[in-house]
Structure 1
Amino acid sequence: MKKILIVDDELIFRQGIRYMVDWETYHYTIVGEATNGKKALKLMDKLSPDIVFCDIVMPILNGVELVKIASHRFPSVKVVVLSNFDEFNNVRQAFKFGACDYLLKSQISKIELLSCLDKLNLQDKECKDSPSVSLAELAKQLLDGFAQEPFVAFDTLLSQKMSEKYFYMIYMERFETAEGSSDLIYEILEVYLNKYTYLSLMTNHHGCVVLINAAQALPPYLVSALFQKLDSLFPNCFCILSNPFCREDSIKVVFDQLCTLAKYSIFFEERVCFFESDIVPHFKKLSFSFELYHEYVRKYNFAAAQSLMLSYIERIKSTLSMDPFEFKKLIENIIYNTIGEIKATLCDDPALDNIKLKLFKNIDKAFPSTFLIWTPTLSVSWI
């Protein structure tokens, strides 16, 4: 049973983590709590934890300094830092000194905690034919934005471990829905990619990245079989395989491109797995008659309004002609204005507000939080 130490100066937060999960059910135990980094170091020496959840901002000795010291004194201990949205620079420093992962304090939940631990377990066995863990850790720093290209240490080790001509990248997200799902993905990769050198890693945006090195193009039958297996086991997952690229190409650029394309998964209700070439957004906006739509609503011709809206949505889905985040805002805007119109002209029933909130919640569920991480702020002034 792996041992966990919680380090945070807020009692309510320490208690929240302690009681958020039935830890022993998942083969973990909370061995102690500390209110600052100095006390944490003493407990680490005394209790020998395997994992430390550590706040960034604490009195006496903060989280960054704790990670820096612990990486030398307790190199086998995995430290996960806990941060707020405005502490990114501190998180970057913590990764520089050896932190393994981070969690946003405002978004911590049972699923988030177990997913994080799942990723830590996978890190111990993430490379085939030992493209070493250090290579995966360097790749993780690069892809998560904690290192910038040219990243000499990564490039040097990559050339030593992966010397073939072609590279492919697989990006998966929304697969961490059950305990052990990361282990299952590793087992699948081992079955289908055992003839290739590859490394797999979990990013801080809840995605799994697989970097494959091959002397020749991947056989279509192999890719098809892998996709079918992922489709059957993870029906809510989104998986995309890059076009082949060379060593000279930027791995970070390829990764960012796949993350951008992954946003468009919202437009595909049935498919799970894609090739990069399958998703080609068109940036020419399709016109929509808001005046006609609201005229239908004002005349209580809701069937016509619905038909007009659904037809427009289908055109967007078939052409990928709208950024998904902009699409989300469009739908929310129409719902808000439609219910407002009904309340103003037909009936001011409080139940309509409950319907509106329920619809907004359903929309938020359809657009996962990881989707928003990768989405730039957009102007929707034309709505």
Structure 2
Amino acid sequence: MRRLMIIDDEFIFRQGLKYMMDWEANNYTIAGEASNGKEGLELFLKLQPDIVLCDVVMPGISGIQFVAMLRRYSKAPIVMLSNFNEFDKVREAFQYGASDYLLKNRVTKDSLLECLNRLGPAKESLLSGQTEKTFGLLARKVLDGYANGDSDSFSSYVKKRLIGQYYCLALLASPKPDFESEEDLQQMLDRSSTDVPALSCFTTQNHAVVLWAFSSSDANIRPLLNLMAFRLRHTSCVISAPFQDLSLFRERAEKLLDLCGYSILYENQLCFFENDLLSSEESAPPFQQERYTCYAEHGCWQDACDLILAYMMDLKNSTKMNPFRFKKFVEHTFYSSLRYARNQAQNFSEISRVELKLFKQLDYIFTFSQFCEAVTSAYGELTVLCSGSQTPDLIFTELDDYLEQHYMEQVSLYDLADNLHMNYSYLSAYISRKTGKHFSEHLNDTRIRHAKELLSVTNFSISYISETIGYADQSYFGKVFKKQVGMTPLQFRNQYQRKD
């Protein structure tokens, strides 16, 4: 069990770290805590913990001073806790022997455990009390602007481990859940059939980078893209063109991160080559804004949705519009039409809820199909909220008429939407809002109502009735019936016959 000590002048933050997880279940224990560097130094000498988590800025003895003083006595790893505006102080702490750092407003259970697990016991052979530097530590310092003199250390580290004059960099927008940890990512690279040596790590911004080396600029890098595409299912990735100067590492990574956003414009593609996305940008076609506004003004939300989806299809699988502009276009178009929706809807707060829901979804979406689904769902909800009583009642009448005629078949919501000439997502949202149930539950209501009639007035067998009303599995029919009626089909029939 490794023993931790926390030094931070903010009581609430210390409490947050203490109760962030079940420490003992992860092979750690909190040995003690202090509110400043002076208390921390005294407590460290008394408790001798294995690892220290230390705030950079504290009253009295600061985190930097604490590191410098502790290094006279111990080589125990020290993880600095910093804010975004404390880069210079963190850099100074590294000069005195800090081991790693975490951004305070981004600390999570997973990021904290990964950081701690990277820190092995202090090694006696290390000079100046500094812990052994790894690719992850050096890369994160370069990417976050803490590097200073460590830029040369980063280049030296890479050149000793990757043989080649040319490098390719990959950036993964969000490595989890495809890779649970840095070790998981590195093991995948080590075991791959590409035979190209690689270094990798997670970043403090919850991205991941992979660096490969080649002997020539015209090396075949297609297998690298295939490798990442095979493994990634939940995020996007862009691989750079070959480059030689490692001092460009941070600049190239930032550029690749911007390009990762293109996955929302491509169907069934999450991994890209940088050069493919930097090809000459075609001009985006004009959007029929006046027509869209007319639809919104008159409450024709399905037509408005179809118009914007058609425009999105024109932009699909191309670089006609960069992803940032694309997302802002959709957000602005939707937002600009909400004033009409608020005039048409009875519940203003529900309109705001739909708006907030869509904008939150767009922040986390990374595929074109997800984008279309979110937009379709939002316009479907607007249609429901802005429809007058006459139209929804007509829809529901047509819906029930269709189910009455087809409940005995294997009918799906897609079949129903197609028959009613309605959008699938809109119809799903409408049924949920109208009945408080999903389509499958509403279909079950219709089937069970007919089952009760047959059980009451016929002597047909349970299995025959089950099949007649659309259930191929009699046991499933019995389960649904009991859930709705409170008794089995046979019990219902017996009870009804006793009443007669």
TM-score range, shorter chain: 0.7 to 0.9
Identity %: 31
- Of stretches 55-64 and 278-287 in structure 1, the one that deviates more from structure 2 is 278-287
Distance change in 2, residues 1:279/1:70 (3 Å): farther
- Of stretches 52-61 and 96-105 in structure 1, the one that deviates more from structure 2 is 96-105
Q: Which residue of 2 aligns with 1:117?
A: 113
Q: Which residue of 2 aligns with 1:239?
A: 237
- 1:297 CA drift (Å): 0.5
Partner Cα separation in structure 2 for residue 123 and residue 212 of structure 1: 25
3-state secondary structure, aligned to 1:176: coil
* 5+ residue gaps, structure 1: 125-131, 368-383
3-state secondary structure, aligned to 1:319: coil
Partner Cα separation in structure 1 for residue 261 and residue 151 of structure 2: 27
Q: Which residue of 2 aligns with 1:336?
A: 335
Q: Which residue of 1 aligns with 2:356?
A: 357
- 1:134 CA drift (Å): 4.9
- 1:188 CA drift (Å): 0.6
Q: Which residue of 1 aligns with 2:22?
A: 22
Partner Cα separation in structure 1 for residue 47 and residue 284 of structure 2: 60
3-state secondary structure, aligned to 2:176: coil
Q: Which residue of 2 aligns with 1:33?
A: 33
- 1:29 CA drift (Å): 2.1
- 1:318 CA drift (Å): 2.9
Q: Which residue of 2 aligns with 1:5?
A: 5
Matched, 1:53 2:57: no
Partner Cα separation in structure 2 for residue 175 and residue 135 of structure 1: 17
Deviation string, structure 1 residues 110-135 (Cα, Å, up to 9, x no partner): xx2312432553577xxxxxxx8456
Distance change in 2, residues 1:294/1:69 (3 Å): farther
Q: Which amino acid aligns with 2:63?
A: G
**Is the Cα–Cα contact under 8 Å of residues 170 and 209 in structure 1 kept in the other structure?**
yes
Greater fraction of residues in helix = 2
Partner Cα separation in structure 1 for residue 194 and residue 29 of structure 2: 35
- 1:328 CA drift (Å): 3.3
Greater relative CO (CA pairs within 8 A, separation 6+): 1
3-state secondary structure, aligned to 1:169: strand
Distance change in 2, residues 1:221/1:330 (3 Å): closer
TM-score where L is the length of structure 1: 0.78
Greater fraction of residues in strand = 1
- 1:71 CA drift (Å): 5.3
Q: Which amino acid aligns with 1:227?
A: M
3-state secondary structure, aligned to 1:201: strand
Partner Cα separation in structure 1 for residue 194 and residue 284 of structure 2: 44
Q: Which residue of 2 aligns with 1:293?
A: 292
Q: Which amino acid aligns with 1:294?
A: T
Partner Cα separation in structure 2 for residue 2 and residue 323 of structure 1: 48
- 1:79 CA drift (Å): 0.6
Q: Which residue of 2 aligns with 1:63?
A: 63
3-state secondary structure, aligned to 2:38: helix
Deviation string, structure 1 residues 11-68 (Cα, Å, up to 9, x no partner): 2221112112222233322222111122222333333434433323321122333344
Q: Which amino acid aligns with 1:261?
A: L
Partner Cα separation in structure 2 for residue 340 and residue 135 of structure 1: 52
Partner Cα separation in structure 1 for residue 33 and residue 136 of structure 2: 30
Q: Which amino acid aligns with 2:103?
A: L
Distance change in 2, residues 1:12/1:144 (3 Å): closer
Distance change in 2, residues 1:212/1:306 (3 Å): same
* 5+ residue gaps, structure 2: 121-131, 367-500
TM-score where L is the length of structure 2: 0.61
**Is the Cα–Cα contact under 8 Å of residues 87 and 145 in structure 2 kept in the other structure?**
no
- 1:158 CA drift (Å): 4.3
Q: Which residue of 2 aligns with 1:223?
A: 224
